[in-house]
Amino acid sequence: MHTPSRIRLLLGLGNPGEKYAQTRHNAGYLALQRLAEVHGWTFKQDKRFLGQVAKGQIDGVTIYLVLPETYMNESGRSLRKALDFFKLSVEEVLVVLDDIHLPFGTLRLRKQGGTGGHNGLKSIQAHLGSDAYLRLRVGIGQQKGDDLTKHVLGRFSREESEELGLSLDRAAKLIERIVQGEPLSQVMNEVNRKMSQEKIDNKNSSSDVLGDC
């Protein structure tokens, strides 16, 4: 038996294929790939879940990492299939995704909320009928006046890659703490307090992403 309050399923949002590898919109993919790399876990394609799946344990807790290959705007299909198969609840899910509203490289942890215009979250909430799932946002920023689709589907610069690497390491450690059962309120306060100290450009209000985004 497992404890329902513990996170058991991690979903990383992104688009499949070499065309989208190492793009900003794939920050969710990259975070889970970093976590798997740290622990020596291997992703394998599994058609049952319309994506790639890795299985591992942290402090005796079995977790599943899922990278949907449905393209971003159909991510909810993969999550729904995984939840049904493993007989898990929405409260046992952590979704990791990119966020243009956060400064590059920063992290933010939320229990629930709206989609912020993110097509991956739109699909998830359509298929789950709920927004009561934990989400970890990885900031990818956006320069004022940039074309949104071009920005999120663009590859990281050398400088961004260095900063992102540190952020992915922090995300992996943060996920470990959550899976280990550390009080969520404590983790959220710590992570979000650090983020609030950053200077955020509130003028970055564009959020709609089209097509494969």
Residue pair 74/123 in contact (Cβ under 8 Å)? The answer is yes
Q: Which of 2, 25, 127, 151 is catalytic?
A: 25
Q: Which of 161, 183, 164 is nearest to 31 (CA)?
A: 164
Alpha-carbon distance 130 to 100, whole Å? 23
Instruction: List the structure tokens of 105.
Output: 């490289």
Say whether 25 is catalytic: yes
Tell me the CA distances in angstroms from 132 to 60, 67, 76, 122, 213, one per residue in order.
25, 20, 14, 13, 23
Residue pair 27/95 in contact (Cβ under 8 Å)? The answer is no
List of long-range contacts for 163-166, beta carbons under 8 Å, 24+ apart: 163/104, 163/105, 164/27, 164/30, 164/104, 164/105, 164/138, 166/105
Could you list the active site residues?
25
